[in-house]
Structure 1
Amino acid sequence: MNYYLYIIYSASLDQYYVGSSANLEDRLFRHNNSGSKATKKAKDWTLKYTETFATRAQAVRREQEIKKKKSRKYIESLISPVG
């Protein structure tokens, strides 16, 4: 089973959210349907970026690494196409 680090974006809030999950489709559905306390203020979350990991621990470690930076610029550098 794969685990994913993901970054979603809400245009109405102009905000990014970083998380991890084994099921991206279900997790995005829950974010858009008040299934998450942190993202319930918006219903327009869209998937912007993913990384795949072999273990949950690796995905969570990467999630914490990104969140620890507390940098919108860093998140935008990850999701923007290179070139």
Structure 2
Amino acid sequence: MKYVYILESLSDPDRHYVGLTDDLRDRLEKHNNGVVSSTARHRPWRIQTYLAFSDTQRAIEFEKYLKSGSGRAFAKKRL
């Protein structure tokens, strides 16, 4: 199972991060422990939304979409 997730920074609620992982709990822990350099400055993080995919390629495509301009607008309005 692959998870596409959106994190929200608790220190800066306007800051979000989109990612893809096999283990959601472990990945959130890494974000909050500063292991992920792109999210270390805006800790702590909480999971805002996540979706589970059985198809890896679809998960990759959806993550890529959420990182696009129209995907960010979709996530802001619908997720």
Alignment-derived partner of residue 17 in structure 2: 17
1:1-83 aligned within 5 A: 2-14=1-13, 15-69=15-69, 72-79=72-79
State the identity %.
28
Gaps of 5+ in 1: none
TM-score (norm. length: structure 1): 0.81
Q: How many residues align?
A: 78
TM-score (norm. length: structure 2): 0.85
Deviations 1:14-53 (A, max 9, x none): 2010001000000000000111111000221000101111
For residues 27 and 54 of structure 1, what CA distance do their matches in structure 2 show?
A: 18
What root-mean-square deviation, in Å, do the aligned CA atoms of Structure 1 and Structure 2 show?
Answer: 1.7
Query: How far has the Cα of 1:78 moved from its partner?
Result: 3.0
Gaps of 5+ in 2: none
